[in-house]
Structure 1
Amino acid sequence: MYKNAVVNLGSKCNAACEHCCFSCSPASTESMDKSYIRKLVSHLSENNNINVISFTGGEIFLDYPFLKELLEIVRPYKKVVTLISNGFWGISSKRTIRYFEEMEYYNVDALTISYDEFHEPYVKIEAIRNIMECSRIFPKTRVSLNMAVTKDKMSNRILEDLGDSILGIRVTKFPLMPVGEAKNIESDQFQHIYKLSNEKRLFCPGFEIVYHFNGNIYPCCSPAVFDTKLNLRESEEQTFERTVEKLHSNILFYIMRKEGFRWFINVIQENPEFEHIEIPEQFSSICNVCNIIFRNEENIDLLTPYMMEYYEGLL
């Protein structure tokens, strides 16, 4: 349980996408201290309970020497490594080959490219095509393409323009959620594909320890969680084991795992003190509902007596 750790290195990015959940941009400088990141990555690498270490941002390839430094820390421990990038660096075929050679050396198992109509103004499609085609030469690093979409921006044209380069590549389209910069997008653009009546969709899709560049530690990597108060950090020196202990023993997360979000929804809909919380009948992801419920301390405080009553019923 909890075998994966994600490190979000910083908010600096070559792009300033209008949908970015972290509001990243070329001017953004929010980041954990590099010395702390080195120490953190060493701690995670030395932990025998961790199988996978993932790096994301911002755009992690903007400071490629530092990324390589971190990969060098991880390499002796033979962890599985995954990376997330917008692929801007793929515009140079020579550089793309070098990066793939080095990813293979550093045991990078998966490279996820985030690219869609929101990224297109900042990253040339030729760069993405080069990466996809180059991945055929280096099969040890599995490449996939993630696309955030709205009703007006389904990115079908991009897929057509990528042509044969994406044959054999896993492509995932996911509906955008109104978090981060996406809060400014017109509400009628969001695709609400799930319903409250679908009980199977009211469970958290998974937990994963995420060290965010704002200093917080979150229980998953969903874009929606970073705009909530679900922070697991107690201190800067907090170990991974203590973080897992908090995630495993906290009554809120226990109910989330055991009962799903139906339990929270019922409490909110049945009690008048929650009138300010509006749970939509349809939503783009259960993560969107999570964001609505846990976005502030007030909501969590109001839920606490009900959670404690639930806990006492377990004794």
Structure 2
Amino acid sequence: MRKPQSVGLNIAARRNATCSHCCVAGSPRAEAHLSAEQVDNIVDDLIAHPDVCEVGITGGEPLLQARRVLSLIKRISAAGMKTNLTTNGFWAITPERAARMTADLESAGLSHLTISYDDFHAPFIKPERIRNALDAASNCSIPTILNMCVSRTHDSLDLLKELGDSALCVKVTRFPVQQCGTGLSIPDEDLIVKPLDKLKLRCPGFELIYHHDGKVYPCCSPPIFDTDMTLGDAGTLSHEEFIRKGEKNALLAIIRTRGIKWLLDRVRETSPFSPAARMTEAVSVCDVCTIIMKDRKALTKLRPEILEEARKTHMLP
């Protein structure tokens, strides 16, 4: 029996900002996107799938296509599924425009709203717009989260103070920036890292992502978008077939059953001079997983053992 699944739909890389930390390298000039036909087919497939309970819509900046996104939310919500939207709040130019947008999102049936805003976004989006967005959201029934990506030199605490009372009673999530997408240019010394023995080296979970590069990824962690760990091209298989492909993948089976620590220990033993084996600290377990995924040579050496271990755990026939 499968657990109910949340699925990510990253419709386009284009956004109205060029943040230096962007995990998907979004920008006003970014052209990568899923076509309207691809998105419609994916949504139809997700709506028909019995295990899908929620769809998260993100980008880039999805509300650059506001009418399109509102239509998608309405279709998904009408099918009895939850919807989550991640946006940078650029649209909240005035209190009135912010109220109109949140009212439209509420009318479409949006379940959760996530606003991404921090020191990296601030040069492109003024704090008063985020105040407008948070104030408008507080006057409707949509639960709202404020996501803040932070580094050692950009902790966003002053910005949080600047948001003032608008941020009261709002769930704030602060998480460390990772070197992926545009964030690959962030210096190592600015990363907030922990020794590996202080990290819980188990995968936080799988959530299929239909990404704007046309690929389907097995999880929602942004660093994986810089790897070739995909389940295939969007539109080539049904959602059920993508799920089954992930379930039958030996490497993913090992991550589910044995954890990242087992995999890292085996890499250290068989390829002691590889990048993953030399790691002593990381931002997160997803950071560790990504370094391993990028190490084709080490994984190729481990392939027979991974297959055998996956069979032992009954994850493969």
Report TM bin, short chain. Answer: over 0.9
Show the counterpart of 2:301.
302
Letter in 2 for 1:196: L
| Greater Cα shift, 226-235 or 211-220 | 226-235
Letter in 2 for 1:56: T
C-alpha distance in 2 between matches for 1:12 and 1:181: 13
Q: Secondary structure at the match of 2:294?
A: coil
Q: 1:268 to 1:2 in 2, by over 3 A?
A: farther
**Residue 32 of structure 2: which of 25, 30, 33 is its match?**
30
Instruction: State the TM-score, normalizing by the size of structure 1.
Output: 0.94
Show the counterpart of 1:185.
186
Query: What do the CA deviations read for 1:267-287 (whole angstroms, capped 9, x no partner)?
Result: 111114763544422211100
C-alpha distance in 2 between matches for 1:83 and 1:289: 28
Matched, 1:9 2:11: yes
Task: Return the offset for 1:236.
Answer: 2.4
Show the counterpart of 1:175.
176
Task: Return the offset for 1:298.
Answer: 3.8
Letter in 2 for 1:241: E
Matched, 1:264 2:275: no
Show the counterpart of 2:310.
311
Task: Return the offset for 1:206.
Answer: 1.2
Task: Return the offset for 1:62.
Answer: 0.6
Query: What do the CA deviations read for 1:111-157 (whole angstroms, capped 9, x no partner)?
Result: 1111111100111111100111112210x211111111110100111
1:1-315 matches, cutoff 5 A: 1=3, 3-138=5-140, 140-193=141-194, 195-198=195-198, 201-233=200-232, 236-272=235-271, 275-295=274-294, 297-314=296-313
Q: RMSD in angstroms over aligned alpha carbons?
A: 1.7
Asked if the contact 1:229–1:297 (Cα under 8 Å) also holds between the matched residues in 2, the reply is: no
Letter in 2 for 1:197: D
C-alpha distance in 1 between matches for 2:198 and 2:157: 28
| Greater Cα shift, 127-136 or 55-64 | 127-136
Asked if the contact 1:90–1:96 (Cα under 8 Å) also holds between the matched residues in 2, the reply is: yes
C-alpha distance in 2 between matches for 1:2 and 1:246: 17
C-alpha distance in 2 between matches for 1:279 and 1:175: 22
Query: What do the CA deviations read for 1:71-111 (whole angstroms, capped 9, x no partner)?
Result: 23223202111000011111222221111112112221111
Asked if the contact 2:70–2:105 (Cα under 8 Å) also holds between the matched residues in 1, the reply is: no
Paired positions, count: 312
Q: 1:269 to 1:82 in 2, by over 3 A?
A: same
Q: 1:264 to 1:59 in 2, by over 3 A?
A: same
C-alpha distance in 1 between matches for 2:73 and 2:20: 30
Task: Return the offset for 1:312.
Answer: 4.5
Q: 1:237 to 1:275 in 2, by over 3 A?
A: closer
Q: 1:234 to 1:102 in 2, by over 3 A?
A: closer
Task: Return the offset for 1:297.
Answer: 4.0
